[in-house]
Amino acid sequence: MTLAVVSASRVARDAVRDARCVVFAYHEMGYACIEALIAIGAPIAALFTHRDAPGEEIWWRSCAGLARANSIAVYTPVKIGADQITQVAALGPAVIYSYYYRNLLPAELIALAPMGGYNLHGSLLPKYRNHG
């Protein structure tokens, strides 16, 4: 690895470590991404996740369990609406991360984070999405 690559990696890691964030995550990918944020010391203000669906075969690790084990507030709203946008605004995130979160995040929510919102999803997103 060159010095420039190492230096860029440190700058990126430090930027993430200094950026207060709110995470929207579910499933094994969400768990792995939260775990990585915790490992580098990212200041996670809160996790928004889904309640496990009755009858769904759960084989992945719990994002909520990981967050609670690390003293991160956990919220499980059915839908992201005005109340949740107000709640996130009060948390003052610099960045919003979304990892395998099942619902589309409203533009008003993402606009709260001056560093933006970043999404990781394991498949192609649908061209048209039901916002209801």
Domain extent listing, the chain: 14-117
Give 70-127 pLDDT, tens digit per residue: 999 999 999 999 999 999 999 999 999 999 998 889 999 999 999 999 998 776 666 6
Give 41-60 pLDDT, tens digit per residue: 999 999 999 988 878 888 88
pLDDT for residue 130 is more than 90: no
The verdict on domain 14-117 having CATH code 3.40.50.170 is yes
Contact 13, 39 (CB under 8 A): no
pLDDT (0 to 100) of residue 131: 52
Q: Which residues contact 89 (CB under 8 A, 6 or more apart)?
A: 112
Single out the residue of 30, 27, 43, 34 nearest to residue 115, CA to CA.
43
SS3 state at 54:
coil
Q: 3-7, 27-31, 33-37, 64-68: which range is least confident on average? A: 3-7
- Can you give the pTM of this predicted structure? 0.84
Which helix (H) or strand (E) segment is 24 a member of?
strand 21-25
Q: Identify the sign of the CA torsion 108, 109, 115, 116.
A: negative
Kindly report the number of other CB atoms within 10 A of residue 117's CB atom. 19
DSSP 8-state secondary structure symbol assigned to residue 41: T
Single out the residue of 70, 69, 56 nearest to residue 27, CA to CA.
56
Query: Regarding beta strands 73-75 and 44-48, do their DSSP bridges make them parallel or antiparallel, or are they unpaired?
Result: parallel
pLDDT (0 to 100) of residue 53: 80
pLDDT (0 to 100) of residue 129: 56
